[in-house]
Amino acid sequence: MNVRPNPVITELTKMLGLFLSVSFGVFLFILFFQPFPLDRLNSNNILVFVMGLAAIVLFFLILVRVIVPVFLNWRKKTDPGPVLPAYLSSLMIITLISVAFPFYLHFVGSVTITFLIMFKVVIICSAPAVAIWLYDMITDLNHQIGALIIENKIIQKQIDRYEEDFLNKPIEFISETSSEKLTLPLADVVLIKSADNYVEIIFQEDNHLKKKLIRNTLKNVENQIRVYSNFIRCHRTCIVNTHHVEKLEKSYHNHWITIKGLEEPIPVSRQYLLKLKETV
């Protein structure tokens, strides 16, 4: 039999560390800076008295951030979660602590409540609300980042799937007389070179580079494969598949690219250099 966990205990377990840290911060601030006149108390009593102020902060943090939301969710019969707007939650924390502090100071610490004391009370009581607000903002940002990371992974998988389908798409190289035809997966085409009245197509097959001459012009082939963005003209005699480019190199004023598995360097003309740099 599954027993549903108590929502108050669940929320308290999740937030208690934060609440204790905030309360302890208030405790240290009041203890060391002593913004309130505590001359009537000895050192031991001062320590206990300041612990009482920290306990007030802890109590109202638990009340506003745990008990009230759980109660409202119970009334709505929904799962535990934030039901108060952040600004309302912060305002409640400041108001409740700012009301409790003066009563505690006056009736327990025998402190005369003046305008200056109230001003200090409000400033000190604003610190827990600001700390909780910062925590909420950071938590919300982390959730947004997590959601964006998941969305990015989904999109990346779609892109990878699309690229895989795209690269496996067959492409046909047909001679001018239509007497010859070479059909290759897009990803296997490595390089297309001009060779007088022919074009030399260098392609990959069984992890080896092979060559095939087809009677056609490089201009005609370029027009045919213009729709495929991974094919870029790098020289008046060469069109390269950027999928196979290993690196772009430079020596003095000359540029060339190296192809995986091809010992011959491929020249790069100045007029095509910029576009190649943007792609490679």
CATH (domain of 182): 2.40.50.1020
Pairing status of strand 238-241 against strand 189-195: antiparallel
**Residue 12: C-alpha distances to residues 7, 19, 75, 219, 263 (Å):** 8, 9, 19, 72, 67
244 and 191 belong to one structural domain = yes
215 and 258 belong to one structural domain = yes
Does position 270 have pLDDT exceeding 90, yes or no?
A: no
Q: Given CA atoms 259, 260, 262, 263 in this order, what sign does their dihedral have?
A: positive
Mean pLDDT of 194-217: 88
> Ranked by mean pLDDT, which of 14-18, 85-89, 176-180 comes out on top?
14-18
Phi, psi of 39 (to 5 degrees): -65, -25
Last residue of a domain, one of 116, 141, 161: 161
State the pLDDT confidence band at 82, using cuts at 50, 70 and 90: low
pLDDT tens-digit readout, 112-150:
999 999 999 999 999 999 999 999 899 899 999 999 999
The residue range of the domain holding 271 is 170-279
pTM above threshold 0.85: no
pLDDT value for 1:
44
> Ranked by mean pLDDT, which of 173-177, 224-228, 236-240 comes out on top?
236-240
**d(Cα 49, Cα 216) in Å, to the nearest integer?**
95
Q: Return all residues near 246 (Cβ < 8 A) that are at least 6 apart.
A: 257, 258, 259, 260
pLDDT tens-digit readout, 160-188:
766 666 667 888 888 888 788 888 888 88
Tell me, what amino acid is at 239? Answer: I
CB 248, CB 277: distance < 8 Å: yes
| Position 1 in a domain | no
Tell me if residue 130 falls in helix, strand or coil: helix
